[in-house]
Amino acid sequence: MKGQQLRKTIKRYIQMNINKIHNMKKSTCIFLLATIFSANNLVAQQKRATAASDKKMNAFVTNLMSKMTLDEKIGQLNLPAVGFDVTGPILSEGVDEKIEKGLVGGVFNTFTPQAVRKLQELAITKSRLKIPLLFGYDVIHGHKTIMPIPLGLSASWDLSLIEKSARIAAREASADGLNWTFSPMVDIARDPRWGRIAESSGEDPYLGSLIGAAMVRGYQTNDLANKDAILACVKHFALYGAAEAGRDYNTTDMSLIKMYNEYLPPYKAAIDAGAETVMASFNDINGTPATANKWLLTDLLRNQWGFKGFVVSDYTGINELTAHGLGDLKTVSAKSLEAGTDMDMVGEGFLTTLKQSLQEKKITQAVIDLACRRILESKYKLGLFANPYKYIDEERAKTEILSQKNRSDAKMIAEASMVLLKNNNQLLPLKKNAKIALIGPLADNKRDMIGNWSAAGDWKLAISVLEGLKNAAPDMDITYAKGANLVDDPAILKQINANGAEIVADEKSPEKLISDAVSAAKKADIAVVVLGESAIMGGEATSRTNLDLLPNQKELLKALAATGKPIVLVLMNSRPLTLEWEDANIPSILETWFSGTEAGNAIADVLVGNYNPAGKLTATFPRNVGQIPLYYNHKSTGRPYDGVSNEKFKSRYIDSSNDPLYPFGYGLSYTSFEISPVKLNRNTMTSAQTIQATVEVKNTGGYDGEEVVQFYIQDIYGSVTRPVKELKGFQKVFLKKGESKSVTFTINNSMLKFYNSDLKFASEPGDFNVFIGANSRDTKSSGFSLTK
Ligand code: NOJ
Give the pLDDT confidence of 37-95 residue by residue, as tens digits. 676 777 777 787 788 899 999 999 999 999 999 999 999 999 999 987 776 777 788 99
* CA–CA distance, 536 with 546 (Å, rounded to integer): 16
Would you say the CB of residue 235 lies under 6 angstroms from ligand 1? yes
> Ligand 1: distance of its center to the CA of 779 in Å?
39
Would you say the CB of residue 87 lies under 6 angstroms from ligand 1? yes
Would you say the CB of residue 138 lies under 6 angstroms from ligand 1? yes
> Ligand 1: distance of its center to the CA of 88 in Å?
7
* CA–CA distance, 363 with 356 (Å, rounded to integer): 9
* CA–CA distance, 737 with 698 (Å, rounded to integer): 8
**DSSP of 39-101:** HHHHHHHHHHHHHHHHHHHHHHHHHHHHH--HHHHHHHTEE-B-SS---SS----SHHHHHHT
Would you say the CB of residue 83 lies under 6 angstroms from ligand 1? no
pLDDT in tens, 148-203: 999 999 999 999 999 999 999 999 999 999 999 999 999 999 999 999 999 999 99
Would you say the CB of residue 781 lies under 6 angstroms from ligand 1? no
Cα dihedral sign for 622, 623, 627, 633?
Answer: negative
Would you say the CB of residue 199 lies under 6 angstroms from ligand 1? no
Would you say the CB of residue 315 lies under 6 angstroms from ligand 1? yes
Would you say the CB of residue 314 lies under 6 angstroms from ligand 1? yes
CB atoms within 10 A of CB 71: 13
Residue from 135, 315, 499 to probe ligand 1 pocket by mutation (most atoms less than 8 Å from CB): 315
Residue 233 Cα: closest atom of ligand 1:
7
547: nearest Cα among 569, 526, 532 = 532
What DSSP character marks residue 743? E
Residue from 92, 134, 314 to probe ligand 1 pocket by mutation (most atoms less than 8 Å from CB): 314
Helix axes 365-382, 329-339, angle to 10 degrees: 60
* CA–CA distance, 111 with 650 (Å, rounded to integer): 57
Cα dihedral sign for 333, 336, 339, 341?
Answer: negative
Would you say the CB of residue 196 lies under 6 angstroms from ligand 1? no
Would you say the CB of residue 180 lies under 6 angstroms from ligand 1? no
Residue from 85, 343, 345 to probe ligand 1 pocket by mutation (most atoms less than 8 Å from CB): 345
Q: Are the beta carbons of 122 and 99 closer than 8 angstroms?
A: yes
Residue located nearest, by CA, to atom 1 of ligand 1: 315
Residue 235 Cα: closest atom of ligand 1:
5
> Ligand 1: distance of its center to the CA of 745 in Å?
39
> Ligand 1: distance of its center to the CA of 314 in Å?
6
> Ligand 1: distance of its center to the CA of 394 in Å?
27
Q: Which residues contact 537 (CB under 8 A, 6 or more apart)?
A: 195, 487, 492, 496, 544, 574
Q: Are the beta carbons of 745 and 692 closer than 8 angstroms?
A: yes
* CA–CA distance, 214 with 154 (Å, rounded to integer): 11
Please identify which of the residues 138, 314, 409, 488 carries the catalytic annotation.
Answer: 314
Note the Cα 788 to chain centre separation in Å.
38
Residue located nearest, by CA, to atom 11 of ligand 1: 87
* CA–CA distance, 281 with 291 (Å, rounded to integer): 7
Cis peptide upstream of residue 640 (ω within 30 degrees of 0): no
Q: What is the pLDDT of residue 9?
A: 56
Q: What is the pLDDT of residue 1?
A: 44
pLDDT in tens, 246-261: 999 999 999 999 999 9
Residue located nearest, by CA, to atom 4 of ligand 1: 314
* Three-state DSSP class for residue 401: coil
> Ligand 1: distance of its center to the CA of 208 in Å?
20
Residue located nearest, by CA, to atom 7 of ligand 1: 182
> Ligand 1: distance of its center to the CA of 138 in Å?
7
Q: What is the pLDDT of residue 45?
A: 79
664: nearest Cα among 627, 707, 613, 620 = 620
Low-confidence spans in the chain with pLDDT less than 50: 1, 16, 18-19
Q: Answer yes or no: 253 catalytic.
A: no
Rounded to 10 degrees, the C-alpha dihedral 459/460/466/471 comes to: -110
CA-based end-to-end distance of the chain: 36
Q: What is the pLDDT of residue 368?
A: 98
Sheet holding 277-280, edge to edge: 233-237, 277-280, 310-312
Amino acid, single-letter form, for residue 387: N
* CA–CA distance, 232 with 166 (Å, rounded to integer): 10
Beta bridge partners of 590: 420, 570
> Ligand 1: distance of its center to the CA of 140 in Å?
10
* CA–CA distance, 478 with 524 (Å, rounded to integer): 9
Phi and psi torsions of 246, nearest 5°: 70, 15
